[in-house]
């Protein structure tokens, strides 16, 4: 979740679509965003080739906050890993360009309510990545941030669910996407554009926040194919 006018959001809802056969425990999905939006950053028109994939439905909305004050890292020349995810008739090839893991979640968050929540409910880990794929033949970039909470069952499930609800509310803040912390993809904008596609998904003690956008050209607010992509790849790579 990344001054400027607040971004609009869709109400939180549970999506049965996210419940995958390989999952166990409690799972839910929310589309929308509680983050303040920056000025729109136009997507790059760089023609670096990315893998192709196709998909169809979904919903979302998301912005990023102002750029990090730290010095920007150079865009990597090669992905750190590549994954292939099959979702029904759709196959996504995913190139992960940057991946980090931290244990101090509150230190990588913004917004008073979110920082206070992560301070009161310490996480086990914050795993973030920047990746590219393709949806319906269009190049796509996305940031994924996964927060794993500590605690015993079933209380920790409530902790995760409440955090998912919090980050989808307007003006509450979120964890920093990696673009906000000056990491870079080899293509696309240097900050999460607004509008973009936003999803908050939870499974047991974990919450995953996804911001996705088209690399070439604007992204419709809550673009259904991009939200479906986030749901299709959830916990699959």
Q: What is the mean pLDDT of each run of 10 residues along the chain (237 residues)?
A: 40 34 50 45 36 33 40 89 97 98 96 98 97 98 98 95 96 97 96 96 97 97 97 97
Q: What is the predicted pLDDT for the residue at 28?
A: 64
User: What was the pLDDT predicted at 18?
Assistant: 34
Report yes or no: 145 and 126 within 8 Å, Cβ to Cβ.
yes
Buried residues in 88-115 as b, exposed as e (16+ CB within 10 A): eebebebbbbbbeeeeebbebbbbebbb
CA separation for the pair 237, 229 (Å, rounded): 13
pLDDT number for residue 70: 52
Q: What is the CA radius of gyration of the chain?
A: 16
* Cα–Cα nearest to 156, from 164, 167, 198, 126: 164
Q: DSSP state, 221?
A: T
CA 162 to mean position of chain CA atoms: 17
For residues 95 and 74, what is the distance between their CA atoms, to the nearest angstrom? 17
Q: Tell me the C-alpha distance between 230 and 201, whole Å.
A: 9
Cα–Cα distance measured from residue 90 to residue 174, given in angstroms and rounded to the nearest whole number = 30
pLDDT of 200 reads 97
CA-angle at 58, arms to 141 and 28, nearest 5°: 100
CA atoms of 216 and 126, how far apart (whole Å)? 29
Q: Can you give the pTM of this predicted structure?
A: 0.74
pLDDT value for 72: 78
Contact 59, 224 (CB under 8 A): yes
Residue 172 has a pLDDT of 97
Domain ranges of the chain: 16-70+77-233
pLDDT at 43: 36
């Amino acid at each position: 979740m990344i001054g400027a006018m607040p971004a609009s959001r869709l109400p939180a809802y549970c999506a049965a679509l996210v419940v995958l056969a390989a999952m166990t425990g409690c799972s839910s999905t929310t589309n929308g965003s509680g983050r303040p939006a920056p000025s729109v950053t136009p997507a790059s028109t760089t023609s670096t080739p990315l893998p192709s994939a196709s998909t169809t439905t979904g919903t979302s909305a998301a912005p990023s906050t102002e750029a990090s004050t730290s010095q920007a890292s150079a865009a990597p020349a090669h992905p750190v890993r590549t994954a292939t995810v099959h979702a029904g008739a759709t196959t996504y090839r995913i190139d992960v360009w940057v991946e980090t893991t931290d244990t101090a979640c509150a230190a990588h968050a913004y917004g008073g309510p979110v920082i206070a929540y992560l301070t009161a409910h310490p996480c086990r880990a914050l795993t973030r990545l920047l990746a590219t794929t393709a949806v319906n033949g269009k190049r796509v970039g996305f940031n994924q941030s996964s927060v794993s909470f500590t605690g015993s069952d079933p209380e920790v499930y409530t902790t995760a669910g409440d955090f998912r609800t919090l980050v989808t509310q307007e003006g509450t803040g979120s964890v920093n996407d990696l673009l906000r912390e000056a990491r870079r993809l080899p293509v696309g904008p240097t900050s999460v554009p607004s509008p973009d596609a936003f999803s908050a998904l939870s499974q047991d003690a974990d919450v995953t926040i996804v911001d996705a956008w088209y690399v070439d050209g604007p992204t419709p607010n809550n673009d259904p194919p991009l939200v479906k992509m986030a749901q299709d790849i959830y916990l699959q790579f």
